[in-house]
Structure 1
Amino acid sequence: MERILYSDNFWEFKGEGEYSDRKFLMGSPFPVMMILVSYLWFVLRFGPAVMKNREPFSLRNWLLFYNAAQVVISFIISALGIHFLWRYGLWHSTCYCEKDGTGEQIIDGSYYYFLTKVIELTDTVCFVLRKKQRQVSFLHVYHHTIMVMATWSIVKYSRTDNTVFLGVINSIVHIVMYGYYGLSVFPHLTKYLWWKKYITVMQLVQFTLMFLHILVSHVVSDCKPAYILTASVCFNTVLFMYLFGDFYVKSYIKKVKASDIVSAGKKISSNIGTKNSINYIINHHKLAGKMH
């Protein structure tokens, strides 16, 4: 029986339940919950404890393969999504997922996108095995966990035309992000990876566009996502804008200011004993004061 509810309440769902239920991990939420519980246990407790007195794994060959595969997969998903958006537009007055035979295509595309989010949990596992626990931050772990939960919920309950854009914009960002990760495996390329901070900028733009798109979709489209999905996307995109913005400030703005102060201190030391040393110290003291 088709599970399509057309009530104007908070829990409004659309979709063909039986079709998605036959797919791997989609029949019940428990397998996905077990994956996430195991993931959190490993990256927060078991993994760090096991690696505490061990040498970090290199994983160089695996990382090359994994990041290259992620770039290819993200490119394919974004290309298919862009083709859909080009054909039907960003917002729809008609639910094409219920016509034209595109409903199952949207479910399939959303399902494959969900599987990529499950695979991306590997990112954190690799951090733990390489003893880069500092990168296993709240932002990182929460982001990976919530993406699995959200994409599973979309495939299970609320596939609409207007959720395609969310996957497209995220996949485009991931092409660049995993491309960077792949290149960073080669130490001699580090000096060419100065553009790392712009990946965070892309992510901030991504969350802004997602927030605006889901809101506009809910206002102007007759193919509205579920109310709870709209609320969840709005909450998490705002949260991610704050968390990623805070990360950007701490990683790139405050670090630059700190390095400027250190550089000024070195110049002061080198100028001690010269006739301009007093003026140099005064000027750089003013500079440091402005930075605070």
Structure 2
Amino acid sequence: MSHLIHKFMDFYSWAETIADKRVADWFLIPSIIPTISIVALYLIFVKYVGPKFMANRNPYEFGMLLSAYNFALVGLNYYIMKELISASKAAKYSYICTPVKHDSYDPNEMRIANALWWYYFSKLIELLDTVFFMLRKKSRQITVLHVYHHSTMPILWWIGVKWVPGGQSFFGAMLNSAIHVMMYSYYGLAALGPQMQQYLWWKKYITMLQLGQFTLAIAHTGRSIYSGCDFPPWMHWALVGYSMSFIILFSNFYIQTYTKKSARKEEQNAKEK
């Protein structure tokens, strides 16, 4: 065991030498320990603390606070999306291949790095989604997909910002931020009360768009790999594998939530006739 730990520490020391120096001192980036600690506390809350705390309590009502939280995330994701679109266009990024310019302090390159840092940080903020669900006793919302997504994204994007805060990394973050603008708009409107339900018919289309973004991310990455793009292969393949896991999980969610539910409803209506 000590031999493996020693090997890992050697690898991490080497990896530090190729980390992006431009972001080396940015908040939470110097070490992965704070990010892992936050995620560990999140998982402990989901598995043990939250259920025990709420076992004999009534659901909490957050009123406008919940809506404000969701609309704040709409604003943050819109900012990230806008910065990535605008700065990548100004920097003449290619959608086929753009390497990371580790030594460039060009204003547009730094805007992209800054937007990707905010994207990473937004994934820490979004851990509060689960906290709100737990305190409102919406345990059905805390699925395997939900916890998997929320617990892995902060770590993966800490790695992304640490080593590749630019180049091909912009595409996935840009897509996901666009989807999150729509998703948190939905949650923000839903939090305003039952009177908004008539305007919230489009929830399943968010899931369809989420499936679409992962498919696009794989296609974009595959094209980049095929072109021989000078971008770390490990990041390419990690993105492909991660996106495929989401396609599987989101497809299952869509089938269970919409396809089977619709079939059951039709069957019930037929029996009533």
Residue 120 of structure 2 corresponds to residue 117 of structure 1: no
Cα shift readout 1:18-52 (whole Å, capped 9, x = no counterpart): 43221111111111111000000001211111101
Question: Within 5 A, what are the aligned runs for 1:27-66?
Answer: 27-66=30-69
Letter in 1 for 2:253: F
Counterpart in the other structure of 1:157? 163
Letter in 2 for 1:51: M
Counterpart in the other structure of 1:171? 177
Question: Within 5 A, what are the aligned runs for 1:176-215?
Answer: 176-185=182-191, 186-215=193-222
Sequence identity (%): 34
Change (3 A) 1:212 1:13: farther
Q: CA deviation at 1:60?
A: 2.0
Alignment partners' CA distance in 1, 2:22 and 2:31: 13
Alignment partners' CA distance in 2, 1:16 and 1:140: 30
Alignment partners' CA distance in 1, 2:182 and 2:254: 17
Change (3 A) 1:93 1:142: closer
Compare CA radii of gyration and give the structure with the larger one.
1
3-state SS, counterpart of residue 31 of structure 2: coil
Q: Please tell me the root mean square deviation across aligned C-alpha atoms, in Å.
A: 2.0
Letter in 2 for 1:200: T
Cα shift readout 1:121-180 (whole Å, capped 9, x = no counterpart): 110111101011111111000011111111100011123311101111000000100000
Letter in 2 for 1:19: R
Residue 146 of structure 2 corresponds to residue 140 of structure 1: yes
**Does the Cα contact within 8 Å between 2:50 and 2:134 map onto a contact in 1?**
yes
Number of corresponding residues: 256
Alignment partners' CA distance in 2, 1:48 and 1:31: 24
Structure 1: stretches of 5+ with no match in the other structure: 1-10, 268-292
Alignment partners' CA distance in 1, 2:153 and 2:41: 16
Alignment partners' CA distance in 2, 1:256 and 1:93: 44
Letter in 2 for 1:178: Y
Q: 254-263 or 96-105, which moves further after superposition?
A: 96-105
1:90 to 95, 108, 113: 95
Cα shift readout 1:41-92 (whole Å, capped 9, x = no counterpart): 0012111111010011111222111111111111111111111333323133
Change (3 A) 1:67 1:256: same
Q: CA deviation at 1:242?
A: 0.7
Residue 233 of structure 2 corresponds to residue 230 of structure 1: no
Alignment partners' CA distance in 2, 1:40 and 1:192: 34
Alignment partners' CA distance in 2, 1:16 and 1:103: 16
Residue 75 of structure 2 corresponds to residue 68 of structure 1: no
Counterpart in the other structure of 1:217? 224
Structure 2: stretches of 5+ with no match in the other structure: 1-13
Letter in 2 for 1:117: K
Q: Which runs of 4+ in 1 moved over 4 A?
A: 11-16, 93-100
Alignment partners' CA distance in 1, 2:88 and 2:101: 11
What's the TM-score, normalizing by structure 2? 0.87
Counterpart in the other structure of 1:290? none
Alignment partners' CA distance in 2, 1:43 and 1:161: 35
3-state SS, counterpart of residue 96 of structure 2: coil
